[in-house]
Amino acid sequence: MTRSESDGRASTETGRLAGETVVVTGASRGLGASMAKRFVREGANVVLTARGEADLRAVADEVADAPGETLVVPADVTDEAAVEALVARSLETFGEVTGLVNNAGIGMLSLYDEKREILEVDLEDWEAILSVNLTGVFLCVKHAVPSMIDAGGGNVINVSSGLGRRASAGWGPYVASKWGLEGFTRTLADEVADDGVNVNCLDPGGRVETRFWDHLPESERDGVLEPDVMDEAATRLLAQGPDGITRESLAAEKWEKRLDEA
């Protein structure tokens, strides 16, 4: 069901994420929308955020009959005041935040439908990609994680990429942002380890059928994954207790195996 600012009721149905409140950025489509819908079906209260309100409401409508609840809060993750307001609305509505999925991200394909070598990248494009992919994560963490600490624990999932662990020509700004995200994740994990907050990176393990890859040539579309590829791993990571796995970075399939072993 969808909870508005002034109305809402709790469901008696439960799931693996019952009792959790999760903020998902970039939730209006693709990987973010798929994960957010899965979390609601698993019983979580899910705060859907992105810049486009209409798309967010469409996602919420798809899970209106699910056990969990949704709250739509449009926001630009690069705007600190907007992020602060996003978290405040989440706390006002649900009382706490126990999970954060930093999924919002852009790259050169998002901006120009093409890759560009580093020497051809304009400063404003470099700054835009770093701002969304890295600064946006920092701002969401800065304002959401204190609630997790107050709640006695929580889970942060930073959506990374295989390009956060290897180089690739034509992807300079995106690679820099994801390598930065990997280091940021490990550092944050170390800093909040004693507070019961787990911090990990998750990536799909390949190219996904989302708008990010809409302009990929047909010759490069073999093996493109479905947008739900990270749903199971993300759900299991968010269900972790204060003593869960932290400070790791794996693709979705490898995460599932890693969690089976834990």
Find the catalytic residue in 39, 174, 179, 255: 174
| Residue 174: active-site member | yes
Contacts of 27 (CB under 8 A, 6+ apart): 33, 35, 36, 46, 48, 49, 50, 56, 59, 103
**Is-contact 201 183, C-beta < 8 A?**
no
Q: Which two tokens stand for residue 110?
A: 């998002």
DSSP string, 174-221: HHHHHHHHHHHHHHHHHHHGGGTEEEEEEE-SS-BSSGGGTT--GGG-
| Radius of gyration in angstroms for the set of CA atoms belonging to the chain, rounded to a whole number | 17
Place of tokens 């963490």: 141
- Catalytically active residues, by annotation: 174
